[in-house]
C-alpha cells in the first residue's frame, strides 16, 4: 500500500499515456515487496527545466526519460555519465543525495536483448536504420564489437554525422541516406538488421522500413518497436525464415538496469517481461 515512506520513480515524456513502463516496474516492485511506485508523468518541452527541479524538490529516487526529452534534459542535470555524454542522450536519471545523475541504458538493453535471443553481434556486419536517440545509444554500444556498421537514415546528413562521430573514436562505421538502393546493397552482405526508427509503430502497423524482398533466411532482424509485438518488418522476416526479435527485450533490459540503480536490487526480468506482454495484449 502506498504510504508516507513510499519511494517514487517514474518516466517523463510527451506523449506518455501509452507507456508500459509503469506496468512493468510496478509489477517488479510488487514481486520483490519493495515500497516503491512508478508513475508516468507528462512533461511538455517548455516545462522540462521546472520538472527536473520538481523531481529534486519532491526527492524522487529517479526517473526514466523518453521522447522528446532525452537530449534536452542533459543541460538540467547535475552530472552525466561518460557513456551518456558520448551518446548525447539520457534515458535514466538517478537521484543520489540530491544530485541528479544522467545515464543511458538503451544500448546495453539492446545488446542484452540480442544475446538473450542467442545472437552475438561480435564480429558481425550490422545495418542500423535510423539516426535518432535510440540509434545513437545502440550504435555506440555495438560499434566497438561488430566488424562493420552501416547507418541508414532518411535525412542523410544525420547518418553521416553519427557515423563520423563513431569513426573518430576509431570504429569502422559508414553513414548513408536511406534509399532502396542503399538498403539493398547494405543488406546484401550483412548479418544483422536493426530498425531504430518508428516506422511500423502503432498506429501505422502496415508500414515497414524494408521491403520483404530484401530480407533473407540467414539475416537476423531486430525491430526495437514493441507495439505491435510483431511489426510488418518482423512479419516479413518470419515469412522468409529469418530470425526476428521484437522490442520487448530491449524495453525490459534497459529498464532492469535502471531498476537496480534506483533500488539496489536485481530486477525480476521475467516478471517485467510478462507485465509488458500482457499490457500489449490488453490483459489486466
3-state secondary structure of 188: helix
Q: Which domains can be identified in the chain, with CATH numbers?
A: 7-104+249-280 (3.40.50.10860), 107-246 (3.40.50.720)
The whole-angstrom separation of Cα 118 and Cα 120 is 7
Q: What are the pLDDT digits (tens) for 170-194?
A: 899 999 999 999 999 999 999 999 9
The whole-angstrom separation of Cα 243 and Cα 205 is 20
Q: Dihedral angle at the C-alpha atoms of 176, 179, 143, 220, nearest 10 degrees?
A: -170
The whole-angstrom separation of Cα 175 and Cα 136 is 12
Q: Say if CB 97 and CB 44 are below 8 A apart.
A: no
- Higher pLDDT pick, 92 / 132: 92
Is the backbone peptide bond immediately before 203 cis, with ω within 30 degrees of 0? yes
| pLDDT over threshold 90, residue 77 | yes
Q: What are the pLDDT digits (tens) for 255-284?
A: 999 999 999 999 999 999 999 999 999 865
The whole-angstrom separation of Cα 212 and Cα 215 is 6
Q: Say if CB 84 and CB 103 are below 8 A apart.
A: yes
Q: Please identify every residue annotated as catalytic.
A: 70
DSSP assignment of 45-76 equals GGGHHHHHHHHHHTT-SEEEE-TT-TTGGGGG
User: In the chain, pLDDT over 90 holds for what percent of residues?
Assistant: 89
Amino acid at each position: 500500500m502506498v504510504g508516507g515512506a513510499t519511494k517514487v520513480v517514474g518516466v517523463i515524456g510527451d506523449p506518455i499515456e501509452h507507456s508500459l513502463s509503469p506496468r512493468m516496474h510496478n509489477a517488479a516492485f510488487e514481486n520483490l515487496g519493495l515500497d516503491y511506485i512508478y508513475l508516468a508523468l507528462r512533461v511538455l518541452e517548455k516545462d522540462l527545466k521546472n520538472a527536473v527541479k520538481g523531481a529534486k524538490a519532491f526527492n524522487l529516487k529517479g526517473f526514466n526519460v523518453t521522447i522528446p526529452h532525452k537530449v534536452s534534459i542533459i543541460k538540467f542535470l547535475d552530472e552525466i555519465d561518460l557513456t551518456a555524454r558520448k551518446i548525447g542522450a539520457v534515458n535514466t536519471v538517478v537521484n543520489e543525495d540530491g544530485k541528479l545523475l544522467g545515464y543511458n541504458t538503451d544500448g546495453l538493453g539492446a545488446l542484452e536483448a540480442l544475446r538473450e535471443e542467442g545472437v552475438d553481434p561480435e564480429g558481425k556486419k550490422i545495418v542500423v536504420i535510423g539516426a535518432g536517440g535510440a540509434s545513437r545509444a545502440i550504435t555506440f554500444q555495438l560499434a566497438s564489437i561488430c566488424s562493420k556498421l552501416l547507418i541508414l537514415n532518411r535525412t542523410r546528413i544525420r547518418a553521416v554525422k553519427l557515423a563520423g562521430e563513431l569513426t573518430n573514436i576509431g570504429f569502422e562505421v559508414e553513414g548513408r541516406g536511406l534509399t532502396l538502393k542503399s538498403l539493398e546493397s547494405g543488406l546484401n552482405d550483412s548479418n544483422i538488421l536493426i530498425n531504430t526508427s518508428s516506422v511500423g509503430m502503432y498506429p501505422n502497423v502496415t508500414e515497414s522500413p524494408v521491403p520483404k524482398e530484401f530480407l533473407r533466411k540467414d539475416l537476423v532482424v531486430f525491430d526495437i518497436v514493441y507495439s505491435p509485438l510483431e511489426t510488418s518488418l518482423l512479419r516479413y522476416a518470419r515469412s522468409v525464415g529469418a530470425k526476428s526479435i521484437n522490442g520487448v527485450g530491449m524495453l525490459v533490459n534497459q529498464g532492469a538496469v535502471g531498476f537496480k540503480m534506483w533500488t539496489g536490487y536485481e530486477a525480476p526480468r521475467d516478471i517485467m517481461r510478462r507485465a509488458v506482454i500482457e499490457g500489449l495484449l490488453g490483459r489486466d
